[in-house]
Structure 1
Amino acid sequence: MTKSVRYDRDILGYGAKPPKANWPNNAKIAVQFVVNYEEGGENCVLHGDAASEAFLSEIVGAQQWAGQRHWNMESIYEYGSRAGFWRLHDLFTTLNVPVTVYGVATALARSPEQVAAMQDANWEIASHGLKWIEYKDFTREDEATHMREAIQLHYEVTGDYPKGWYTGRCSANTVDLACEIGDFAYVSDSYADDLPYWYDSGDKAQLIIPYT
């Protein structure tokens, strides 16, 4: 007889009958407009990192340059803070569309003018972690340290603790750490559903709003 082994993933979700969402004003869908603010938080030797960034760029097959600045990579990221952000800010504020910013804490700290513009527009500023780096090889303890530092730096920069969390380049520990460490209204490190859902971590139920 084959012994049954618990499969540590929920691949059923809501199943064949998802619940009625009951969005306000009887809306059929809910949309969250998100601006990811990562510029100045990516891998860079100027930030004390061992190598340059290699993720999310227009450089095909980009590789990290150990111990060196990657001028092209840096300038691609700078486009977001210098030009892209302001174009989106103008668009969303002109149309009076509410926005959530997923802000990397160290990126926000290096961008006081952009943070002021976010706050003047009454945008939600959620946390996008301490740095825009890969966490898959971090120990649980080191990732927890980064998460705590991100929450504190977010407070110092914005004047408020974040109500939302999204690491993005997360590890298998990220969601459980967010449940344990943060007092978050929601966590978005999931791509698993069309609807928000509850995630049980220890004795806590955490609302998950899938990034997708």
Structure 2
Amino acid sequence: SRDLCMESHFEYGTRAGWPRIRALLSAYGVSATLNANGRAVALSPWLAREAAADGHEVAAHGWRWERHAGMGETEERDTIARAVAAIRDATGRAPVGWHTRSATSVNTRRLLLDQGGFLYDSNAYNDDLPYLVPGRGDRPHVVLPYAFDTNDMRFQRGGGFVFGDDFARYCIDAFDRLYAEGGNAPRMLSVGLHLRIIGRPGRIGGLERFLAHAAAREGTWFARRDAIAAHWLREAAGFEGSDAAEGCA
């Protein structure tokens, strides 16, 4: 049965959170990646179209917000295909990135490669940097790890964030450390946002303070995840000749 209360919480992100976040990203010239459930895109295709029009990437976040662990292979294959189709129908372009909500199955990455068109997935939390795994043919597949600490989900109960400044201070500390280390080696910071969470009026200022801080540092690159993956293939792996990589840069 439907949970209308929970639906209302999520609807806040679409109705009120997205306009605030969209305006802030535009003000700072930030190109971001939106991880989108296929079913959500099918219900609100206008949001995906607005994001694409603003220069953001729309990546696949599953068909529904669900775990893939325990899914049968046929069901998971169909789930991936439905998510891809919904995003392609809304934006005119199939997603090249994938991020499963919670646990993947043992088949997920192979099924993404079978589907074709995927440059990277973010189904890992084990590094600060992208890395390569075997792909199809002569092109490796990029694993672009995600992070739950520099993430507005920590405003949820037990997460430790209360005020917008909690988010800003933590993300700024992470940025400053990685920026200092970046003088000698590549560094990447993933900042996770959710429309219904950071889009609240009492929290959005934390995101703005972080963006202002990072933007003031010379050489900061606010990058879509597909652009990071394409860059990693070209520079870190010395890989060339990928149509997908060239199309994402």
The TM-score range, normalised by the shorter chain, is: 0.5 to 0.7
The one of the two structures with greater contact order (alpha-carbon pairs below 8 A, sep at least 6) is: 2
Q: Is the CA contact (8 Å cut-off) linking 2:34 and 2:59 kept in structure 1?
A: yes
Give yes or no for the alignment of 1:188 onto 2:122: yes
Q: Show the counterpart of 1:211.
A: 146
Q: Give secondary structure in 2 for the equivalent of 1:207.
A: strand
Could you list the runs of 5+ residues in structure 2 that have no partner in the other structure? 148-249
Q: Which has the higher helix share?
A: 2
Q: Distance between the aligned counterparts of 2:25 and 2:92, measured in 1?
A: 23
| Greater Cα shift, 164-173 or 70-79 | 164-173
In the aligned structure 1, how far is the partner of 2:129 from the partner of 2:36?
23
Amino acid at match of 2:74: E
1:121-180 superposed Cα distances (whole Å, 9 cap, x missing partner)? 111111112111222221012101111122122211110111111122332321222122
* Matching of residues 54-203 of structure 1 within 5 Å: 68-169=1-102, 170-200=104-134
Cα deviation, 1:54-111, whole Å, max 9, x if unaligned, reads xxxxxxxxxxxxxx22122111111111111111111101111111111111111211
Identity among equivalent pairs (%):
32
Name stretches of at least 5 consecutive residues in structure 1 with no aligned partner. 1-67
Q: Structure 2 length normalisation: TM-score? A: 0.54
Work out the CA distance in 1 between the residues paired with 2:114 and 2:91: 22
Q: Give the length in aligned residue pairs.
A: 145
CA shift in 2, pair 1:182/1:168, >3 Å: farther
When residues 153 and 113 of structure 1 are mapped into structure 2, their CA distance, relative to the original with a 3 A threshold, is: closer
Structure 1 vs Structure 2 CA RMSD: 1.8
Q: Structure 1 length as normaliser, TM-score?
A: 0.63
